[in-house]
Each structure stands twice: as C-alpha cells, then as structure tokens.
Amino acid sequence: MASRNTISFTSVDAQPSGVLVLIAGEGGAVTNGLPQDLKSLVERAASVAKFKGKALSSFELLAPAGSALDRVLVVGGKADTGSGEEHWLKLGGSIAAKTKGADVVTIAAGTLAPAEAASIAAGILLRGYEFDRYKTKKKANGDDEEARDAAREFRLSVADADAAKDAFAGIQPVVDGVVLARDLVNEPANVLGPVEYVAEIEKLSQVGVEVEILDEAAMRDLGMHALLGVAQGSPRPPRLAIMRWNGGGDEAPVAFVGKGVVFDTGGISIKPAAGMEDMKGDMGGSAAVVGLMRALAGRKAKANVVGIVGLVENAVDGMAQRPGDIVKAMSGTTIEVLNTDAEGRLVLADALWYCQDRFKPKFMVNLATLTGAIIVALGNHHAGLFSNNDELSERLTQAGKATGEKVWRMPLGPEYDKQIEGKFADIKNIGNGRAAGSITAAQFLQRFVNDVPWAHLDIAGTAMGSPANEYNQSWASGYGVRLLNRLVEDHYETK
C-alpha cells in the first residue's frame, strides 16, 4: 500500500523546519550554507561522534534552543553504496527510517543533481510501503496507531526546484508500479484469483494502457492446452491478459511476459506443507509486468510495449492434470507432464508463443518465479538470466547494476536441451533428476521461442522473501519493475 508520506521540492532559500537532514560528503564534511552557530555545533558533534561520512552512517543532535528546527540528522551520502540510482534510493530509504516519528523533514539536497534528489524521494516512498490492509489493529512493528497513521512530509531543498520536480515526475510512476507489484504479490490467493487479478489489470486502462482479456473459451480456440492443463484442477478459471502501451509511433513493440500462478499447490505432485503459503507469490513475474506497464504509462514512455500475463491457479481437484498426461501446446509441440509442479513453464509456453506469433516483437523478456533451484544457485540477490542474445543480456545486466535489481547470466546449451526430450511426446516438463533444474526449465521455455531475441528471468529468489533493505521492508519486493523500466528507458525509447 502506498505510503502516507508526501514529497515536495523547495529552493535552498526556504526556511527549513522539523528535522533537518544534512548529507555529508567524503571525509564527513557537511558542505552547505548553514548559519555559523549551527555549523560549529554540527562540526563539533561530528568530531565527538567520530563521524567519517561513511555511506549511510549517521549521527544526530538536538537543535539549539530558539531554533526553528527540532533536530539535525547528518547522514553519510556521497561515497557510493552501489551503482547509480540504487545508491540514492538507499539514502532516501535510510533517511525515512532514521527520521521516523518526525512530521516534517527537510533534506538539504542543494548540491545534488535533480535525478539524485528525485531518487532520494523515491527511496522515501518505497521505504514507507507497508502491506497492512488486513491489520485490524494498526500496531504492527511496535508502532503506535497514531504514528502509523500520521502523514509525514518530506521537503527536499534543491538548487533547481523545477528541474527536481520534472525528474520526480518521471520516477513517481515507477514507484507506483513497484507498489502495485508488491501489493499484487502480497495479496493472498483467496482474494486474488485469476478473475480478480484481471479486474486489477483492467484498472490500468485509466492511465492509458489498452487491456484485452482472453477467457478459457478463447484460449481453447487458440489451442493453449499447456496453460489450460495447469488450470483444470481449479474451479477458478484461467485468464490471459494482454496489455499494450503505445507511446512509440509505428515501431515494432518490445514484449514482457509473466508467470501468474496465483497459487501453486504443486497439483497432484503436491508440495510439502511447510512454506507452501509462500506460493501465493507465484505470480511475481506477472506482477512485475503489470507494475512495469503502470510505470511506463504513468511516465508516458516513448515506446511501444506489450505485456502478457498467464493467470492460473495450480490446484488439485478431481479434474486436475495427472503425471503422465500429454498436452499439446499452441505451438503444436506435445508435452508429457511428468511433474504437475513444473507448471510455470507450461503456462509460459503458450503465453510466449502467443506473444511472438501475434506481435512480432523486437524482443521478449519473460519473468517467472520458476524454480526453487535458482534460489539454491543464486540466493536472493540476483535473478537468473537465460538468453539467446548477448546484446539483450548485456543491457539487462547493466540495467540490473544501475537499479540494484541484479541479474546473473546462466548457461543454455544442447546438452541441457537433451534432458527434456520426451519418451512418449516431443518433450517432457522436467529434466533428469535435480541436476541443473533452473537450466532445464529455461531450455523448456526456449522450445517455444523462435528467432526473436529472448531472455528469461528466474525471479523465484528475488520477487519475494528477499531480505529487507533500506528501500524495501516488504515480503514482496516488486522486483523487476525498476529493472525493466530502466531497460526500456535506456535503449528502446524514441527521443
């Protein structure tokens, strides 16, 4: 849920109030135009606190009597904590956390570039996110009710307020997209089934996204039996949602495809009980695509972008698909379903094929919480990247470094592809045993990709349950929205 924090930009001449935040440079120097008495006080406090200006380290002091300020907080800010925008998000998030309880916070950002100040603001908003819709007593995290409900005001004093506002106008929709993705992933599956999910997606038409929905009958007509086979064990019918943002004239579109399994019980190859509740987040790939479309439309990106999400519940009633069942995908490929828990690739097989067949995109990037094995390989700090294209991989890698939504390229190859050869059908939906589980899953997807540049991001470790950081305290991280927004912004927008 969106935070109750508000952001404004003022000129450096405006009188600061509340808590004043100073961003210290290298060596701990606080180089801004403080009045002399305050300046010596801060310098003395810095020396007593042995403050060296290390990134995100801080100290604070009470403002002197008679001052318009309550407190002064000094935060180390210049030394980079990562590359690019993520540094400023961390700084913003950390300022929001360290000024908790203050109604008004003035951040002295006169020496920062507009984009840097705007990213600090984004970090403040992302830090303020909390999924508390179902808390009837607002007392989570030891906060009292009043403090949680109070709207907090953050004023950034900058050299050029108009330039900072412009920069922020380009970032705020991205924050909205991340918040939307987090909300969708945090939402439990009893509330968010495929039909309810589609209702949320349709709201994007309010910001100019064209939305089209395929129901079960439409998918049957198209021959999407890989996706439909997964859905048949649930009384809740599947949907395929197609979102289009047309901001790029008559260029061929770029395309993003997401796995949207609203809950993954495993089906007849059922999962163990411990931790199964996390499978409400098995639609994290689709949430990233939906959040991205929200971001691109909100900032009126000059690009043509298609987003496609396959929404199903992998449940287990008497109609559920069985191990050994053979289904025919829209592409015509026949698949032996040897493990009903390897369902994401079945959903994506039809969504990817449909996407390239209908839209002839410049590239396709799919996102999926696809394998537990990627968590074994990379933990929570990189998504697995699998691709048939070096340029697309390099661009995704760079976007990952800038945003902090990092990716790590993994191999594909004929040796792995062999592992999914079928015994009774063309292919089977699992490899041999546990070896290279994330790679054989990627090989499976590649069987449904023709010549188009394609990348698959396995986000099982990054979309949810990743450790909290300065700008994310939520179980669902919203991973992928900022990464793909950066990819589009840096390479696929007409000027």
In angstroms, how far is the first alpha carbon of the chain from the final one? 33
Of 125-133, 152-160, 343-351, 388-396, which part binds Zn ion (CB under 5 A)? 343-351
Looking at beta carbons only, is 259 or 486 nearer to Zn ion?
259
Does 300 qualify as catalytic in the annotation? no
Q: Is 264 in the site for Zn ion (CB under 5 A)?
A: yes
Cβ neighbours for 376, distance < 8 A, ≥ 6 positions apart: none
Distance of alpha carbon 86 from alpha carbon 123, whole angstroms: 9
Least spacing, CB of residue 265 vs ligand BES, in Å:
10
The active-site residue out of 71, 148, 271, 300 is 271
Least spacing, CB of residue 235 vs Mn ion, in Å:
19
Residue nearest ligand BES, CB atom distance:
372
Least spacing, CB of residue 375 vs Mn ion, in Å:
13
Least spacing, CB of residue 344 vs ligand BES, in Å:
5
Contacts with Mn ion by CB under 5 A lie at 264, 341, 343
Distance of alpha carbon 129 from alpha carbon 249, whole angstroms: 35
Does 345 qualify as catalytic in the annotation? yes
Of 60, 116, 130, 282, the one binding Zn ion (CB under 5 A) is: 282
Helices (H), 187-301: 194-202, 216-222, 225-231, 284-298
Least spacing, CB of residue 358 vs ligand BES, in Å:
26
- Torsion 441-445-446-452 (CA) sign: negative
- Torsion 200-205-211-217 (CA) sign: positive
- Cβ–Cβ contacts within 10 Å for residue 168, how many? 23
Least spacing, CB of residue 278 vs ligand BES, in Å:
6
Closest listed residue to residue 443, CA positions, set 457, 451, 431: 431
The active-site residue out of 345, 395, 447, 482 is 345
Residue 131 has which token pair? 């999924």
CB 214 within 8 A of CB 460: no
Q: Is 344 in the site for Zn ion (CB under 5 A)?
A: yes
Residue nearest Zn ion, CB atom distance:
264
Of 12-20, 258-266, 447-455, 468-476, which part binds Zn ion (CB under 5 A)? 258-266
Q: Is 266 in the site for Zn ion (CB under 5 A)?
A: no
CB 30 within 8 A of CB 40: no
Contacts with ligand BES by CB under 6 A lie at 264, 282, 339, 341-344, 369-373, 430, 437, 460
Looking at beta carbons only, is 107 or 460 nearer to ligand BES?
460
Helices (H), 404-476: 414-417, 437-446
SS3 letters across 34-65: CCHHHHHHHHHHHHHCCCCCCCCCEEEEECCC
384 SS3 class: strand
Looking at beta carbons only, is 264 or 313 nearer to Mn ion?
264
Looking at beta carbons only, is 187 or 264 nearer to ligand BES?
264
Looking at beta carbons only, is 70 or 325 nearer to Zn ion?
325
Looking at beta carbons only, is 85 or 264 nearer to Mn ion?
264
Q: Is 284 in the site for Zn ion (CB under 5 A)?
A: no
Contacting residues toward Zn ion, per CB under 5 A: 261, 264, 282, 344
Q: Which residues are the active-site residues?
A: 271, 345
